[in-house]
Amino acid sequence: MQRRDSDHHSLRIQHTLYPAAYLLRLIGDTHPTSHELAAAFQHADAWALPLIVDLSALGFGDEELLRRLLHAHRTGLTLIGPISDSFQRRLDTTGVTDLFTIRPTLDAALDSPGRGRR
């Protein structure tokens, strides 16, 4: 398992590489003027592993995060909750909630058979 952190304003992103998956843990709030989300998802994609995104410490998720999650969903994605009320509303309002596999813990996400292969 390898780990590194990137930090920008109110969003912190932890990267963790597991043998069978790549984990992004989002801590804080996303904002449309930052580019760290794009860089984090590109870095994760380079590993060609199923992606797990931990949203349990996310306060606010913007439309850029939703766009990144929808793109990652096509190639294998599991989310870890609980998901904040504001981001859950965004998922519900856009009608995409059912597209995502949401697990309560990292262990459950790592064991998730529905993750697919990237």
- Contact call for residues 60 and 86 (beta carbons, < 8 A): yes
For 54-103, what is each residue's pLDDT tens digit? 999 999 999 999 999 999 998 789 999 999 999 999 999 999 999 999 99
> For residue 37, which of 11, 60, 57 has the smallest C-alpha distance?
11
- Residue 78: C-alpha distances to residues 4, 6, 31 (Å): 20, 21, 22
Residues contacting residue 69 through CB under 8 Å, at least 6 positions apart: 53, 77, 79, 100
Q: Please report the domains of the chain, with CATH numbers, ordered by start residue.
A: 2-105 (3.30.750.24)
- Predicted confidence at residue 24, as pLDDT, reads 97
For 22-32, what is each residue's pLDDT tens digit? 999 999 999 87
Q: Where are the alpha helices (DSSP H) in 13-112?
A: 36-46, 63-73, 85-94, 106-110
Confidence check: pLDDT of 8 > 60: no
Confidence check: pLDDT of 118 > 70: no
